[in-house]
Chains A and B, each alone.
Chain A
Amino acid sequence: MTEEEIYERLNEVFQDVFDDDTIEVDDLTTADDIDDWDSLEHINLIAAVEEEFGIKFKMGEVSTMKDVGEMVDIILSRI
């Protein structure tokens, strides 16, 4: 899977979780860029991303990811 494909699939996950078809994420997207992305929705997002790519994030990673770019790096290293 290429990085491009990952972003494509990730976009869909974000759109589903936040129920907003206009969301487009890139490597610099953070929680500040999406209105509903708070700590409560974070767990929902993580679960949906894990489900989509069939991977598991480690506990430390969940709390230290700074932006979507880091999330994609982790996904790339697991698949």
Chain B
Amino acid sequence: MFELEYPFDSAYIMKKRKSIRKTLLSDGSTRLKKNIAVLGGSTTNDIVTVMELFLLNMGIEPTFYQSEYAQYWQDAMFPGEELQNFNPDIVFIHTTNRNITAFPNVTDKPEEVDELLEKEFGRYKQMWNAVSERFKCPIIQNNFEMPFYRLMGNKDCSDYRGRENFISRLNMKFYEYSSQVGNFYINDINYISASYGLKEWSNPLYWNMYKYALCFAAIPEFAFNTANIVKSVFGKNKKALALDLDNTLWGGVVGDDGVENIQIGQETGVAQSYYEFQNYIKAHKDLGIMLTVCSKNDEENAIAGLNHPEGVLKPDDFIIVKANWENKDRNIANTAAELNILPEAIVFVDDNPAEREIVKAQLQGVKAPTMDGVENYIQTLDRSGFFEVTTFSEDDLKRNEMYKANVQRAAQQATFENYEDYLLSLDMNAVIDDFIPMYIQRITQLSNKSNQFNVTTKRYTTAEMEEVFASDEYIRLYGKLTDKFGDNGVVSVVIGKKDGTTLNMELWLMSCRVLKRDMELAMLDTLVEKCREQGIETIKGYYYPTAKNGMVKELYKFFGFEKISGDEEGNTVWQLNVADYVKRNNVIRVHGNGDA
């Protein structure tokens, strides 16, 4: 919904939130349902209602629990029945510098301040440990914003007795903690309050009158920033950028002005702005964001523009270049299909409002932020939080190369007559075996991101996945696939729970980047093998339909399972007799954890 995209009109959202909520809830889209416990050190009521709007717009339908006023610590340490039964999927601790129990006095000695710091930090650490132990779910914790006055003036930041100094040190301790434990995310209100304007943000009227730790008008900015972390944790980040060229990546129109006259590089202020923007875009590659071009241009001109000697981005940086005169929505739909991602995982970046409108109207869920003035491009994209980083795996680093190899594979496929010959020519090797600690993060990430090739769409937090990993009630498999073009990384996860001689499949997913490679058959082969070793006689498969997983409706049938039941909602149950199974994969060489 346009009203909730960055840069939004905060006053409008605050005023109209009731009707915005109604519109969102009646738009017929399916959303992930999540329980969010908000443990506040100040009033949270309006924060929660606005956060709900942003989350609904991001595809998540939250149910909130809110602490009684300022009861965050008590709730975390000694949760009452309501919170215990609430079973949160995420706990958000909303504390601010108003909740710091003691600041240094100017008469304090350094050791006394050190002690104070340890004590304050200890209070938080104790709380986080208690929460993660009890609820085994991700925690979002605010850092601290700067104080609204400086008793010592400028010295307040550098002197150990200054409040500003104390807050900075406390923040550093929070960051250290977050780098040591998983599933713990800092909500950077120190940055957001500075960006908003600390003077307004911390206007004491709102604290003294309403016990809000930030000004009323800043609530949407704050709620949006927090919602971005939540949506990222639950796998709702975007995956790719589709970039226009003329007046988006450089100034001018390459086809009209000629490549020597486009604005990019160090010559003018405008050229420098485009240069800076190209730098910003290129850095996304390392985050695992896929770069593609979507431009109305002759391909020859587009490539010439990208080869401009002063430019940062080169043709090689893009997985797909669509430079033609087709409608852009069709180009983006094709790009999505070629990358095996959903169109809604793409962010379309174009300076032309008409193009943005067409794309948004034709492709539901594609974001097309308002790109108005090259000097605003970075800020608009950056603050939109499309690619908010929560987990960051080795795979993210390599994603662009992997997808590029995919496009090369597709090109080669065209030259083979027999599909099996083609698959054999790929020289595929897989490791398929029980989970190992190194991949738990990636496995969890896959369970939260895979929508299409996913029969149950069951989501796991890292903590839940670790429980599965630690338990002997499960048969678990991950699959990692390598071929002559490169390493695809961990691409498939299968989890089944044992019940006597039956194995009930809880999860069967695969990344769409390895569709039609017989990887699913290789996984099935190994699963059956493990079942035989562990005395399992029957495997039961379950398919639960969603808006996106139609492609695996008949997966178990394809696997040779027999359908034993189904209901009117399309849920189906399937069964395989382990003894009857004959190996299916002939094209992938399969290895175990030890012999890869």
Contact = CB atoms under 8 A, between A and B. Distances in A.
A59 interface: yes
A74 interface: no
Contacts of A2: none
A44 B46 contact: yes
Contacts of A16: 15-16, 19
Q: Is chain A's binding surface mostly helix, strand, loop or mixed?
A: helix
Interface stretch (B89-97, B205-213, B292-300): B205-213
5 contacts: A44-B216, A47-B216, A48-B14, A48-B15, A51-B11
A17 B209 contact: no
Contacts of B217: 47
B45 A63 contact: no
B99 to A, nearest CB: 20
B91 to A, nearest CB: 23
Nearest to B212: A43
B199 interface: no
B458 interface: no
Given A47-B216, A47-B217, A59-B209, A40 B15 contact: no
Interface string A44-63: 10011001000000010011
Interface of B: 11, 14-16, 18-19, 22, 45-46, 205, 208-210, 212, 216-217
A16 B14 CA distance: 10
Contacts of A8: none
B209 A44 contact: no
Given A16-B19, A51-B11, 12 more contacts: A16-B15, A17-B15, A19-B18, A43-B209, A43-B216, A44-B46, A47-B15, A48-B15, A51-B15, A59-B208, A59-B209, A63-B209
Contacts of A18: 18
Interface in A33-79: 40, 43-44, 47-48, 51, 59, 62-63
Interface residues of A, number: 14
A75 to B, nearest CB: 16
Nearest to A46: B216
B517 to A, nearest CB: 53
A59 B203 CA distance: 11
B216 to A, nearest CB: 5
B208 A47 contact: no
A59 B205 contact: yes
Nearest to B16: A16
A63 B15 CA distance: 20
Contacts, number: 36
Contacts of B216: 43-44, 47
Contacts of B210: 43
Nearest to B219: A47
B209 A47 contact: no
Contacts of A13: 15
B11 A62 contact: no
Contacts of A43: 46, 209-210, 212, 216
A47 B205 CA distance: 12
A23 to B, nearest CB: 13
Contacts of B11: 47-48, 51
B454 to A, nearest CB: 38
Contacts of A19: 18-19, 22
A18 B205 CA distance: 24
A40 B46 contact: yes
Give 5 nearest A-B pairs by CB, closest first: A19-B18, A51-B11, A48-B15, A47-B216, A16-B15
B96 to A, nearest CB: 17
Contacts of B22: 19
B251 to A, nearest CB: 37
Contacts of B15: 13, 16-17, 44, 47-48, 51
A43 B47 CA distance: 13
Interface in A1-26: 13, 16-19
A13 B46 CA distance: 18
B19 A47 contact: no
B81 to A, nearest CB: 24
B14 A62 contact: no
Nearest to B12: A51
B6 to A, nearest CB: 20
A48 B17 CA distance: 12
A58 to B, nearest CB: 9
A26 B205 CA distance: 28
A46 to B, nearest CB: 8
A19 to B, nearest CB: 4
Given A62-B209, A63-B209, A47 B14 contact: yes
Contacts of A59: 205, 208-209
A13 B11 CA distance: 12
